[in-house]
Amino acid sequence: MVSWFQAAQYLPTVENPEKDQTLKQMMTWTAITLLLYFLLSEIPIFAADAQQVETAIQQLRTFQTLLGSSIGTIITLGIGPIVTASIVLQMMVGSELLGWNTDTTEGKQKFQAAQKMLAYGLTVIQAAGFTLSGTFGSVAGDPMLAAIITGQITLGGWLVILMDDLVQKWGFGSGVGLFIAAGVSKGIMTQLFSPFAAGNAQTGTGSGFFWETNAAPQGQLWDFLMTQSVEAGLVIASTIAVFSAVVYLQGMKVEIPLTFGNVRGFGQKWPLKFFYTSVMPVVFVSALIANMQIVGTIAADEVTNCSPLGCFDSQGQPTSGLVYLVNPPADFIQNLLVGGVSGEIAVTGFDFLHVLFYILMYTGGAAMFSIFWAKTTGQDSDAVAEEIQETGMKVPGFRKDKRVIKKVLDRYIPPLVVVAGASVGFIAATADIFRAAGGGMGILLTVMILYRLYEQLAQKHMEELHPAMKDFFQ
């Protein structure tokens, strides 16, 4: 009888390269994968209802950013099945429901094989869920249509799994981070510069801010400057400001001096980055908000389109209640500026309350999730002190003792955890309010992913011979 581990070997996969790849080869394969990703993101789901697709894009915008997906195309699922499979297995291994030691070669092989099988299986399940829930049109009583739509989404999901495998083995970084960064970057460029019409509501005018006008169908740049200057200027300025702030803060860190206990006069600094818990706290807050909106939509009455969490319009957009407050007040700044120039009152006291609630929700929620994430991922003072102790280092002027190291770390890590979480939450919230292209969370994810890729690039640079690197950059 064939075991599940043997069955996993028959699933589609990408073989490992026979020899180590050079930096140029790795970058080439990464570029090829990115090109395939962008091509797939332009292939719409055949037989899907266009109106339902537009509604789904609005309702699932957060998930689209988190999962590097493109709603309404064959890569609607994005990296969802990969991430879900990884989280489920990590929880099962961590809780010892699965007795695998992932520090051993055998344990790693079992984990990877199970992750592969689960990811392929979840792709089918999630694709069927999207189809049967009517996300892309009603399929009630038409099993053939349901099978066609499900098959396309499933195929796209499997291709994403293979592309992620290709990037990990032949390319640079990971497909998970690469697709998120690529999706957000594409969204930013489309929102700003796309010359193509978007949706049925357009009349031939480009959907990008540099092309879209309300007065002139030709979309001249002069008309843009005259009629769209406030809105477009706000988007461009806020996008640049958020990118600059995240890049600057990403490089900030606190360095704790340490010495080796057995080597006199030799030591190093232990860095604690400003974004200590990375972007995960704001991801949790965004996921919580997205789930709240989905629950509110499902619980809404068919007649009034209202639920205990709030009401929605015909397009599925919140109009009142908690679901409205947790959505960004995207027009607040623009209305405030226009009202100030024209002398008219364009905002109300409730609008200010909405802004305050949104900022406090993201800032406070991210700070709390940051504390939780630091403890569960071994980033608290005790775990870091244990890690430093195992390296043989100690605090200068003190004896080699974990309690001493922990006492020193307690001065930095607990406050840094709270400040880091609150900072990413505040940046994400203000970026949403100021309508930064790509959204606050999207920019945070993209910058941090690209920064991590840069660090890996620098490490590969150090590993290769200088003449080879010189030839590459030429």
Tens of pLDDT, residue by residue over 386-432, are 888 887 777 777 777 788 888 888 989 999 999 999 999 999 899 88
Residues 6 or more apart whose Cβ sits within 8 Å of residue 374? 276, 277, 380, 413, 417
What is the Cα–Cα distance from 38 to 183, expressed in whole angstroms? 8
Judgement on whether residues 112 and 20 belong to the same structural domain of the protein: yes
Whether 251 maps to a domain, the answer reads yes
Whether 337 maps to a domain, the answer reads yes
- Taking each helix axis as running N to C, give the angle between helix 440-463 and helix 23-40, from 0 to 180 degrees, rounded to the nearest 10: 150
Instruction: At 306, list the tokens.
Output: 């209202």
Judgement on whether residues 291 and 408 belong to the same structural domain of the protein: yes
Judgement on whether residues 332 and 242 belong to the same structural domain of the protein: yes
| DSSP conformational letter for 400 | S
Residues 6 or more apart whose Cβ sits within 8 Å of residue 97? none
What is the Cα–Cα distance from 442 to 62, expressed in whole angstroms? 9
What is the average pLDDT across 249-258?
84
Which pTM does this prediction carry? Answer: 0.72
Per-residue DSSP letters for 200-268?
A: TT--S--SSTTT--SS-TT--HHHHHHHSHHHHHHHHHHHHHHHHHHHHHHT-EEEEEEEETTSTT-EE
What is the average pLDDT across 435-455?
79
Q: Long-range contacts: 328-331, Cβ < 8 Å, 24+?
A: 328/358, 328/429, 328/432, 328/433, 329/354, 329/355, 329/358, 329/433, 330/432, 330/433, 330/435
Whether 472 maps to a domain, the answer reads no
Domain that holds residue 252: 232-437
Judgement on whether residues 170 and 236 belong to the same structural domain of the protein: no
What is the average pLDDT across 176-186?
83
Q: Which of 197, 216, 249 is the C-terminal boundary of a domain?
A: 197
CA quadruple 436, 438, 439, 441: dihedral sign: negative
Q: Is 163 left (phi over 0), alpha (psi -120 to 50) or beta?
A: alpha
Q: Render the burial of 90-120: b for 16+ CB within 10 Å, e for the rest.
A: eeebeeeebebebeeeeeeebbebbbbbbbb
Instruction: Grade residue 466 by pLDDT with cuts at 50, 70 and 90.
Output: low
Judgement on whether residues 260 and 187 belong to the same structural domain of the protein: no
Angle at 440 between CA 434 and CA 442, to 5 degrees: 140
Residues 6 or more apart whose Cβ sits within 8 Å of residue 42? 73
Residue 379 phi, psi dihedral angles, 5° rounding: -110, 5
What is the average pLDDT across 141-151?
92
Residue 210: count of CB within 10 angstroms of its CB: 17
Which residues are registered as beta bridge partners of 258? 268
Judgement on whether residues 171 and 293 belong to the same structural domain of the protein: no
What is the average pLDDT across 255-283?
77
CA quadruple 95, 97, 99, 103: dihedral sign: negative
Instruction: Grade residue 159 by pLDDT with cuts at 50, 70 and 90.
Output: very high
The structural domain count of the chain equals 2
Judgement on whether residues 244 and 148 belong to the same structural domain of the protein: no
Q: Give the domain CATH number at 317.
A: 1.10.3370.10
Whether 252 maps to a domain, the answer reads yes
Whether 473 maps to a domain, the answer reads no
Judgement on whether residues 166 and 29 belong to the same structural domain of the protein: yes
Return the top range by mean pLDDT from 43-52, 131-140, 438-447, 461-470. Answer: 43-52
Whether 219 maps to a domain, the answer reads no
> Is-contact 175 168, C-beta < 8 A?
yes
Give residue 455's pLDDT.
Answer: 75
Give residue 82's pLDDT.
Answer: 87
Q: What percent of the chain has pLDDT over 70?
A: 81
Residues 6 or more apart whose Cβ sits within 8 Å of residue 270? 255, 256, 257, 258, 388, 393
Whether 216 maps to a domain, the answer reads no
Judgement on whether residues 247 and 181 belong to the same structural domain of the protein: no
Instruction: At 241, list the tokens.
Output: 């400001």
Return the CA Rg of the chain. 25
Give residue 157's pLDDT.
Answer: 94
Instruction: At 234, list the tokens.
Output: 């706000």
| DSSP conformational letter for 73 | B
Judgement on whether residues 80 and 176 belong to the same structural domain of the protein: yes
Judgement on whether residues 50 and 151 belong to the same structural domain of the protein: yes
Give residue 84's pLDDT.
Answer: 80
Whether 466 maps to a domain, the answer reads no
Instruction: Grade residue 103 by pLDDT with cuts at 50, 70 and 90.
Output: low
Give residue 73's pLDDT.
Answer: 93
Judgement on whether residues 190 and 279 belong to the same structural domain of the protein: no
310-312 vs 306-307, strand pairing mode: antiparallel
